[in-house]
Structures are given as C-alpha cells and as structure tokens.
Amino acid sequence: MKKQTVKRTLSVLLAAALLLGAAGFSRAAAEHSHTFYAAQVVSPGYMNGGSTVYRCACGESYSEPIPPRMEPFCVMTGGRVAPGGSITVQATLCNCSGLADLTLDVGYDTHVLRLTDAACAEYGVPERITDKALRFDAIDPNVQEAVLTLTFTADENAPNGVQTVSLSGCGVSACAVDNGEEIIMTASRAAVQVYRPPRLIVSAPADPVCTGDTVQVTIDLVNNPGVAGMAFAVQYDPQVLALTAASAEGMFTQGSVVMSGNLSAMPFRVLWDDASAPENHTEDGTVLTLTFTVRKTADAGITPVTVSIDPDDVLDVQLQAVELTGQNAELTILRRIGGDADGDGDVTAADVICLTRYIARGWNVEINALNSDVNRDGAIDLKDVVLIRRYLVGGWDVDLS
C-alpha cells in the first residue's frame, strides 16, 4: 500500500514538473523579439519594380516590394538672344540612374538657330550624330541627375519672335529586372526669344572732319517696339564741338517736341510725346538731326557724341515704360591750319615758297596737304598760292579756315 502511494506521488510530481517546463518554454518563446535585416535586394527598373527580403535569425522572413523608378525627364531653361548672338540653353536630365546609354533628339528651327556646342559634366562630350541628335554611350548608371548645356547661335537675319527648343530621347535600362528594355525620356521644351533691342543710335560721319568744318550728327530710332513719348540727353565735348542747330525729324514731327532753350546747354535735352495718339508709334528712322561746328582751336583726336536715356522716360500709350538703350558715336578730328603748307603751325612767306616749289615740281619738298588746299576744292594748285599771298598782305578779306 505504501509502495502504491509513493508511485502515485512520484507520478504527480513528474507531471507537475513537465507542466512547469512546458509553461516556461512557452513563456520564453512568447518573449522572443525578431530582429530583421535586409538579406536580399532586387533593384527596381523603369518597367518592373524590385523588392527587399528581410530575415530574422530565427528563420522568419518577409518581403517588401519596391516600386518601379520614375521615368527620366528633363527641365529646360530658355532666354533671349539677339540676331547673330549666342545663347546657352540648359537642360537638367533627371531620374537617369539605371540608364546604360542615352540618345537625345534636339528640336529647333535650323533657319533661325544653329547648334554650335553641347557639353555635359556628368556624361562627358556627346557624340554629334546629326545637327539634331546627340548620343551618350556607356554612361554611369549611378548618376541620378546630369546637366546638359546646349549653345545656339541665332542667324544674323533671324526675325524677332519666340523660337522653341525641345529635347526628347530614349535610353537602355541597365537594371536587371528590365532585361535591357528601351526607356523613353519625357519631352521638354524651352522658349528662346530672338530679340533686337530697341535703340537710339547716334550716327556720325565715318571719315575724319577738320577743325572749322560743319558736320551733321543724327539720332536714329531702330527696332522700335512702339512708343508714345520719350526723353533723352545728348552730350559732347564743348571744347571740340559747338552745336549750331537741332531739328526734329520723322515721328518727332508728330506730337510735341521741346528741346533745351539754349543750344550750348550741356547736356542738350530733348523731350517728345504724342499725347493725342490713339496707338503707339512703331516706325524706325531719324528723329533728330544735330549740326555741329568743329572748333578751330580743337586738338586732333577722337571725340565722342553720346546719348543717355532714363529707363522711366520712354513710355507707350498706356504710360508703361519701354526698354530703350543708347548707342554712341565718335568723330575723328583733324587739326587744320589753312595755308600752313610746311606744317610748322604758322602761316608765313615760307609756306608760299614751299607750296610754289611743290606745284612746280622737282624741288623735293613735302607739304601738309590738308593745310595746303586752302579753298577746299580738292586740288592743290596756284589758286591756293594766291590765297595765301593775299592773306599775308592783308586787305583781300581772305579766310584761310
């Protein structure tokens, strides 16, 4: 009887021990915290997505999908260019990582623009397949963004207006999941404005003028965008030039013109407006003619005639400011002393002898031709000798200037 009681007791204790062990194991299992790590990554392509597999040391794992890459595209910036000038169009190529190569089609009007250069720091110099096709071969697939610089030259005769430059292309995916699929780059466009800036141009004779001469200088308006009023100032060296007359021309004869009350005012100001005009004046041409006398005391050299314009002083019929710039001119001055044939700075009997011998020939003398043509008829002859003699003796009312 005692033996059975002992057996029963041992069985109960063994069962209790097993129950306690099982409970401890279950509690330990419940308390385990998974630590996952990225065990495998399949890079996504443009056509197909990838995935990342995460695993725990205990054997547990799960997978998360990676969406396909965004399609490559570009952002372009345009600008303004004058005929005959150059402009840089910048294209930023985005979402390019994963491409193995790239061919770009450049769209533009070849009658107006000419592609003169193309460069890219990230991809190197592209191959020029044609004037409108570029190719980057074996590019780095890790480059996410590249900047392409396109340089265009506008034709000298390009008309004013907006030109469109476009960029599109395709490349081969370097991502394994795409199996070398062709990837299309979204087309992008930029506006390039061909623009002839409106200007007031000072036009002066290209040939040299002499002291004592009368010379005309014009102010011309070109590329007129449409104006109803303007004001500007003309400046020059009063020690060299003397303004003797100013007259309105062209569209300045319409409306009202007010000029400085004194021709010797410096600067010489001009104000014009056509307040009653229902629309802008758009014609080009001469608007002002200035007549100068080159002072006899002026030194030889180059003297400028300039025009200055306040940006707020050029308006359209809506009283909106109009962009207008000035272009200056220069006069080449020659110092002339009429009758000073030998060029010593004075008119004496020596000049008569020098000029007589020159005309007679065979005396091996040199003369100052500018001073020797006293009557300015284009010929050096006996008339000039007689005029110098009369000047020297006086009473003949001869002006050698």
SS3 category, 26: helix
The token pair at 217 is: 């200088």
Are the C-beta atoms of 295 and 239 separated by less than 8 Å? yes
Cα 58 off chain centre by: 67
Amino acid letter for position 249 = E
CA angle in degrees (0–180, nearest 5) for 260-205-306 = 40
Rg (CA), the chain: 45
pLDDT tens string 98-145: 999 999 999 999 999 999 999 999 999 999 999 999 999 889 989 999
Return the domain boundaries, the chain.
73-194, 199-334, 337-401
What pLDDT does residue 106 have? 97
Distances (CA, A) of 15 to 21, 26, 59, 342, 380: 10, 17, 32, 144, 146
Cα–Cα distance measured from residue 101 to residue 139, given in angstroms and rounded to the nearest whole number = 5
Q: Cα 172 from chain centroid?
A: 36
Contact assessment for residue 93 and residue 71, using Cβ atoms and an 8 Å cutoff: no
Check whether domain 199-334 has CATH 3.20.20.220, yes or no: no
User: For residues 245 and 292, what is the distance between their CA atoms, to the nearest angstrom?
Assistant: 7
What whole-number distance in Å separates Cα of residue 240 and Cα of residue 304?
Answer: 10
Query: CB of 165 within 8 A of CB of 78?
Result: yes
**Token representation of residue 46:** 């443009």
What is the pLDDT, as a whole number, of residue 25? 46
Separation of alpha carbons 87 and 160, rounded Å: 15
- The Cα–Cα gap between 351 and 5 comes to 164
Please check whether the domain covering 73-194 is classified as CATH 2.60.40.680. Answer: yes
Instruction: Please state, in angstroms and rounded to a whole number, the distance separating the CA atoms of residues 44 and 69.
Output: 6
Of 27, 2, 158, residue with least CA distance to 85 = 158
Query: Rounded to an integer, what distance in angstroms lies between the CA atom of residue 46 and that of residue 183?
Result: 7
Strands 182-194 and 79-81: parallel
Q: Do domains 73-194 and 337-401 have the same CATH topology?
A: no
Alpha carbon distance 253, 268 (integer Å): 18
Burial class of residue 249 (count of CB atoms within 10 Å of its CB; 0-12, 13-18, 19+): middle
Question: Which residues of the chain, if any, have pLDDT below 70?
Answer: 1-31
Q: Which two tokens stand for residue 6?
A: 């002992």
CATH architecture of 337-401: Orthogonal Bundle (1.10)
Q: At what angle do helices 349-360 and 382-393 cross, to 10 degrees?
A: 170
What is the reported pLDDT for 20? 53
- Using alpha carbons, list the distances in angstroms from residue 223 to 272, 282, 310: 18, 8, 18
What is the DSSP code string of 261-314? SSTT-SSEEEEEE-TT-SS-B---EEEEEEEEEE-TTPPSEEEEEEEE--GGGE
Distance CA 315, CA 269 (A): 17
CB within 8 Å of 316: residues ≥ 6 apart: 226, 227, 228, 280, 322
Closest CA to 343 of 326, 325, 368, 323: 368
